Structure 1
Amino acid sequence: MTQAISDDQFNAKTDEGITLTDFWAPWCGPCRMQSPIVDELAEEMDDVEFYKMNVDDEPKTAQSFGIMSIPTLLIKKDGEVVEKLVGYHDKARLTEILNQYK
Protein backbone atom coordinates (compact mmCIF):
# COMPACT_ATOMS: atom_id res chain seq x y z
CA MET A 1 0.00 0.00 0.00
CA THR A 2 1.22 3.49 -0.83
CA GLN A 3 1.18 5.90 2.13
CA ALA A 4 0.95 9.68 1.96
CA ILE A 5 3.66 11.23 4.12
CA SER A 6 4.59 14.73 5.24
CA ASP A 7 7.87 16.63 5.33
CA ASP A 8 8.09 15.89 9.06
CA GLN A 9 7.75 12.13 8.49
CA PHE A 10 10.03 11.76 5.48
CA ASN A 11 13.39 11.02 7.13
CA ALA A 12 12.01 8.63 9.74
CA LYS A 13 9.96 6.71 7.15
CA THR A 14 12.75 6.44 4.55
CA ASP A 15 15.81 5.74 6.72
CA GLU A 16 15.65 1.93 6.63
CA GLY A 17 15.29 -0.61 3.86
CA ILE A 18 14.31 0.22 0.30
CA THR A 19 11.83 3.04 -0.18
CA LEU A 20 10.30 4.77 -3.18
CA THR A 21 8.76 8.21 -2.71
CA ASP A 22 6.57 9.62 -5.47
CA PHE A 23 6.68 13.44 -5.49
CA TRP A 24 3.51 14.61 -7.25
CA ALA A 25 0.75 17.24 -7.44
CA PRO A 26 -2.96 16.87 -8.29
CA TRP A 27 -2.74 19.23 -11.29
CA CYS A 28 0.12 17.23 -12.92
CA GLY A 29 -1.02 15.02 -15.82
CA PRO A 30 2.08 12.76 -15.92
CA CYS A 31 1.73 12.35 -12.13
CA ARG A 32 -1.78 10.98 -12.63
CA MET A 33 -0.34 8.46 -15.11
CA GLN A 34 2.50 7.47 -12.75
CA SER A 35 0.40 7.09 -9.61
CA PRO A 36 -1.47 3.86 -10.52
CA ILE A 37 1.83 2.21 -11.46
CA VAL A 38 3.34 3.10 -8.09
CA ASP A 39 0.20 1.76 -6.40
CA GLU A 40 0.43 -1.52 -8.36
CA LEU A 41 4.06 -1.99 -7.38
CA ALA A 42 3.21 -1.28 -3.75
CA GLU A 43 0.72 -4.15 -3.83
CA GLU A 44 3.23 -6.52 -5.47
CA MET A 45 6.50 -5.72 -3.68
CA ASP A 46 6.45 -6.53 0.03
CA ASP A 47 10.13 -5.71 0.50
CA VAL A 48 9.85 -2.06 -0.64
CA GLU A 49 7.98 0.74 1.15
CA PHE A 50 6.08 3.14 -1.12
CA TYR A 51 5.25 6.74 -0.21
CA LYS A 52 3.67 9.76 -1.92
CA MET A 53 4.33 13.41 -1.19
CA ASN A 54 2.14 16.18 -2.60
CA VAL A 55 4.68 18.91 -3.41
CA ASP A 56 2.05 21.64 -3.09
CA ASP A 57 1.25 20.62 0.49
CA GLU A 58 4.74 19.42 1.50
CA PRO A 59 7.31 21.54 -0.38
CA LYS A 60 10.23 21.33 2.07
CA THR A 61 11.43 17.81 1.25
CA ALA A 62 11.12 18.34 -2.51
CA GLN A 63 13.16 21.54 -2.23
CA SER A 64 15.84 19.85 -0.12
CA PHE A 65 16.39 17.27 -2.88
CA GLY A 66 16.32 19.84 -5.68
CA ILE A 67 13.14 18.43 -7.19
CA MET A 68 12.07 20.90 -9.87
CA SER A 69 9.92 18.67 -12.10
CA ILE A 70 7.23 16.18 -11.23
CA PRO A 71 6.64 13.35 -11.12
CA THR A 72 9.97 12.59 -9.49
CA LEU A 73 10.55 9.21 -7.88
CA LEU A 74 13.19 9.12 -5.17
CA ILE A 75 14.52 5.68 -4.29
CA LYS A 76 16.48 5.28 -1.08
CA LYS A 77 18.27 2.28 0.38
CA ASP A 78 19.00 2.44 4.11
CA GLY A 79 18.56 6.21 4.07
CA GLU A 80 20.82 6.93 1.08
CA VAL A 81 19.40 8.19 -2.22
CA VAL A 82 20.28 5.61 -4.88
CA GLU A 83 18.01 6.80 -7.74
CA LYS A 84 16.25 10.04 -8.66
CA LEU A 85 13.90 9.41 -11.58
CA VAL A 86 12.25 12.41 -13.23
CA GLY A 87 9.17 12.03 -15.42
CA TYR A 88 6.96 9.06 -16.18
CA HIS A 89 8.43 5.54 -15.89
CA ASP A 90 6.62 2.35 -16.85
CA LYS A 91 6.09 -0.57 -14.50
CA ALA A 92 8.69 -2.85 -16.11
CA ARG A 93 11.41 -0.20 -15.82
CA LEU A 94 10.58 0.63 -12.19
CA THR A 95 10.53 -3.06 -11.28
CA GLU A 96 13.94 -3.52 -12.90
CA ILE A 97 15.39 -0.52 -11.04
CA LEU A 98 13.96 -1.53 -7.65
CA ASN A 99 15.16 -5.13 -8.02
CA GLN A 100 18.74 -3.86 -8.32
CA TYR A 101 18.67 -2.77 -4.68
CA LYS A 102 17.20 -5.90 -3.10
Structure 2
Amino acid sequence: MPYTSRHAATPPTRESVDQLTGATVIEFGTPWCGHCQRAQPLIEQALEDLPDVAHVKVEDGPGQRLGRSFGVKLWPTLVFLKDGKEIERLVRPGTAQSIHEAIEKIS
Protein backbone atom coordinates (compact mmCIF):
# COMPACT_ATOMS: atom_id res chain seq x y z
CA MET A 1 0.00 0.00 0.00
CA PRO A 2 1.65 3.25 -1.07
CA TYR A 3 1.34 6.70 0.47
CA THR A 4 -2.20 7.52 1.63
CA SER A 5 -3.27 11.15 1.29
CA ARG A 6 -6.50 10.91 3.29
CA HIS A 7 -7.12 10.08 6.91
CA ALA A 8 -8.87 6.78 7.59
CA ALA A 9 -12.64 7.22 7.79
CA THR A 10 -12.63 4.94 10.81
CA PRO A 11 -9.37 4.59 12.73
CA PRO A 12 -8.19 1.06 13.43
CA THR A 13 -8.37 -0.28 16.96
CA ARG A 14 -5.21 -0.83 18.96
CA GLU A 15 -5.95 -4.55 18.92
CA SER A 16 -6.05 -4.61 15.10
CA VAL A 17 -2.83 -2.56 14.91
CA ASP A 18 -1.07 -4.98 17.27
CA GLN A 19 -2.05 -7.84 14.92
CA LEU A 20 -0.70 -6.23 11.73
CA THR A 21 1.89 -8.17 9.79
CA GLY A 22 4.78 -6.72 7.84
CA ALA A 23 5.99 -3.12 7.74
CA THR A 24 3.51 -0.36 8.61
CA VAL A 25 3.80 3.39 9.12
CA ILE A 26 1.02 4.93 11.19
CA GLU A 27 0.78 8.69 10.77
CA PHE A 28 -1.04 10.64 13.49
CA GLY A 29 -2.14 14.21 12.73
CA THR A 30 -4.99 16.34 11.44
CA PRO A 31 -5.84 17.89 8.05
CA TRP A 32 -5.66 21.44 9.47
CA CYS A 33 -2.28 21.06 11.26
CA GLY A 34 0.40 23.21 9.60
CA HIS A 35 3.21 20.87 10.70
CA CYS A 36 1.27 17.94 9.20
CA GLN A 37 0.74 19.77 5.91
CA ARG A 38 4.45 20.62 5.63
CA ALA A 39 5.41 17.00 6.30
CA GLN A 40 3.15 15.50 3.60
CA PRO A 41 5.59 15.86 0.67
CA LEU A 42 8.37 14.35 2.81
CA ILE A 43 6.23 11.39 3.82
CA GLU A 44 5.06 10.85 0.25
CA GLN A 45 8.63 11.03 -1.06
CA ALA A 46 9.89 8.54 1.54
CA LEU A 47 7.10 6.06 0.81
CA GLU A 48 7.22 6.23 -2.99
CA ASP A 49 8.24 2.97 -4.61
CA LEU A 50 7.66 1.02 -1.37
CA PRO A 51 4.48 -0.96 -2.08
CA ASP A 52 5.25 -3.43 0.73
CA VAL A 53 5.07 -0.73 3.43
CA ALA A 54 1.53 0.00 4.58
CA HIS A 55 0.70 3.64 5.39
CA VAL A 56 -2.19 4.27 7.77
CA LYS A 57 -3.14 7.90 8.27
CA VAL A 58 -5.11 8.49 11.48
CA GLU A 59 -6.78 11.74 12.45
CA ASP A 60 -5.81 12.38 16.05
CA GLY A 61 -7.12 14.63 18.80
CA PRO A 62 -8.65 14.65 22.26
CA GLY A 63 -10.45 11.43 23.06
CA GLN A 64 -8.94 9.50 20.16
CA ARG A 65 -8.00 6.19 21.71
CA LEU A 66 -5.41 4.98 19.21
CA GLY A 67 -3.29 8.11 19.51
CA ARG A 68 -3.51 8.00 23.31
CA SER A 69 -2.50 4.34 23.35
CA PHE A 70 0.69 5.32 21.50
CA GLY A 71 1.29 8.36 23.71
CA VAL A 72 1.06 10.82 20.82
CA LYS A 73 1.50 14.42 21.97
CA LEU A 74 2.63 16.35 18.86
CA TRP A 75 1.65 16.13 15.20
CA PRO A 76 2.62 14.67 12.93
CA THR A 77 3.90 11.63 14.75
CA LEU A 78 4.98 8.69 12.62
CA VAL A 79 5.07 5.29 14.30
CA PHE A 80 6.98 2.60 12.42
CA LEU A 81 5.77 -0.93 13.10
CA LYS A 82 7.13 -4.35 12.21
CA ASP A 83 4.53 -7.09 12.70
CA GLY A 84 2.49 -4.83 14.99
CA LYS A 85 5.41 -3.87 17.24
CA GLU A 86 6.78 -0.31 17.42
CA ILE A 87 10.37 -0.19 16.19
CA GLU A 88 10.88 3.53 15.57
CA ARG A 89 9.06 6.84 15.98
CA LEU A 90 9.51 10.27 14.43
CA VAL A 91 7.83 13.43 15.69
CA ARG A 92 7.59 16.30 13.20
CA PRO A 93 10.05 14.80 10.73
CA GLY A 94 12.19 17.39 8.94
CA THR A 95 13.51 15.37 6.01
CA ALA A 96 12.43 12.55 3.75
CA GLN A 97 15.78 10.93 4.53
CA SER A 98 14.94 10.63 8.25
CA ILE A 99 11.66 8.93 7.33
CA HIS A 100 13.39 6.65 4.86
CA GLU A 101 15.98 5.64 7.49
CA ALA A 102 13.18 4.73 9.91
CA ILE A 103 11.46 2.70 7.19
CA GLU A 104 14.68 0.76 6.60
CA LYS A 105 14.48 -0.44 10.22
CA ILE A 106 11.10 -2.11 9.59
CA SER A 107 11.60 -3.35 6.04
Alpha carbons 1:7, 1:60 under 8 Å: kept:
no
Q: Which one of the candidate residues 4, 7, 20 is aligned to 2:7?
A: 4
- Normalised to the residue count of structure 1, the TM-score between the two structures is 0.82
Structure 1 unpaired stretches of 5+: none
The letter of the residue matching 2:84 is: G
Task: Report SS of the residue matched to 2:51.
Answer: coil
The answer as to whether partners of 1:20 and 1:51 remain within 8 angstroms in 2 is yes
Larger helix proportion of the pair? 1
Query: Equivalents in 2 of 1:88, 1:58: separation in Å?
Result: 24
Question: Which residue of 2 is the match for residue 65 of structure 1?
Answer: 70
TM, length-normalised to structure 2: 0.79
Deviation of the 1:10 alpha carbon:
5.8
The structure 1 segments of at least 4 consecutive aligned residues displaced by more than 6 Å after TM superposition are none
Number of aligned residue pairs = 102
Percent identity between the two aligned chains: 26
Name the CA distance, whole Å, in 2 between partners of 1:57 and 1:36.
Answer: 26
Uncovered stretches (5+) of structure 2, i.e. residues with no partner:
none
Q: Secondary structure at the match of 2:86?
A: strand
Letter in 1 for 2:7: A
